[in-house]
Amino acid sequence: MTTRTRLRALTAATALLALTGLTACSTEGAGADPDRVDVVAAFYPLQFVAERVGGDAVTVTNLAKPGAEPHDLELNPRQVGQVSEAKLVFYLKGFQPAVDEAVAQNAADRALDVTTVAPLRDATAGGHEHEGEDGHAEEESGGKDPHLWLDPTRLATVADRLAERLGVVDPDRAADYTTRARTLRGELEKLDTEYATGLKTCQRREIVVSHAAFGYLAERYQLEQIGLTGLTPDTEPAPQRLAEVAREAREHGATTIFFETLVSPKVAETIAAEVGAKTAVLDPIEGLSADGGGDYLSVMRTNLTTLRTALGCS
């Protein structure tokens, strides 16, 4: 679905919201508890941070449901209402066009955009990342990589800023938000140390991934990302790109081609079969799987274990 189509759908949803008088007050999500601050998070990593920093002082609504790929999120009228009624909307501008539009129309003065906290890296910096021949990834992302949460230190900075913003919204509990953000920073710094240590000495440093979501992780831990596609996970790679990746995989002696939990593994399986490698999941943590299980920290540690095995780390 194109951005223009998304905007038309959102406009229709907004009109329906106005006509029916639908609000976000319901038994789940924003408005459920008047003693808590209603926070709307655009997708899972932001939900994780909001819940950890906010604790029992906030009610967090995630607009992207478990098991759904968040890039192409469409908002229904109830979700537009949640954005409109929230005390704070926590989102990443440019990642989900429908959320960007809903924020611009309904919550511009009550939103925290992650890109204003931790500037995004260029999508083509550091590694063999690839934009589709049709320019699709370039169009959707503006040439910037949104997946900053895969660097735990950047996510810690985001958590610190969220604590500051919650303290403005809810000054009586500002100290509590700061304390919880400090605790989360400690956990994220511990995770960062585990990654730095675990990936320090490896036989290989190249990771072949189904889409170029791992630039921040590669940059932080001196890995090289080889993406089958660019930033958009459902873009079909051109035959020429598949041939290039297969050649690079052979040159680097790649033993594993990585795919993701929320995207079909078929292309990764094709490359793996061609070069004699196996496949494994490397999760970009854009969302949790539908069966739940784990959180950001546990999935990141599972990723580390997978990487150590695939790269032959000692």
Check whether residue 60 and residue 179 sit in a common domain.
yes
Check whether residue 10 and residue 94 sit in a common domain.
yes
Residue 172: helix, strand or coil by DSSP?
Answer: helix
Check whether residue 77 and residue 185 sit in a common domain.
yes
Give me the CATH number covering residue 68: 3.40.50.1980
Check whether residue 19 and residue 36 sit in a common domain.
yes
Strands (E), the chain: 37-41, 58-62, 88-91, 111-113, 121-122, 144-145, 206-211, 224-229, 256-259, 278-281
Which strand (E) or helix (H) includes residue 42?
none
Check whether residue 187 and residue 203 sit in a common domain.
no
**Residue 74 Ramachandran class (φ > 0 left, ψ -120 to 50 alpha, else beta):** beta
Check whether residue 100 and residue 204 sit in a common domain.
no
pLDDT tens profile 68-86: 889 889 999 999 999 999 9
127 part of a folded domain: no
pLDDT at 177 > cutoff 80: yes
Check whether residue 180 and residue 205 sit in a common domain.
no
More confident residue, 229 or 114: 114
Check whether residue 92 and residue 226 sit in a common domain.
no
pLDDT at 195 > cutoff 70: yes
- Determine the average pLDDT of the residues in 45-56: 98
Residue 97 has a pLDDT of 95
141 part of a folded domain: no
Q: Which domain holds residue 231?
A: 198-311
Check whether residue 208 and residue 74 sit in a common domain.
no
pTM: 0.84
**Backbone phi and psi for residue 65, each to the nearest 5 degrees, phi listed first:** -75, 150
Check whether residue 158 and residue 237 sit in a common domain.
no
277 part of a folded domain: yes
- 123-137, 152-166, 176-190, 272-286: lowest mean pLDDT where? 123-137
Tokens of 11: 């406009």
268 part of a folded domain: yes
90 part of a folded domain: yes
Check whether residue 22 and residue 84 sit in a common domain.
yes
More confident residue, 282 or 210: 282
How many domains are contained in the chain? 2
7 part of a folded domain: yes
Side-chain half-sphere exposure of 199, counting CA atoms within 13 A: 26
pLDDT tens profile 90-148: 999 999 999 999 999 999 999 999 999 999 998 853 344 444 434 333 333 448 999 99
Check whether residue 233 and residue 253 sit in a common domain.
yes
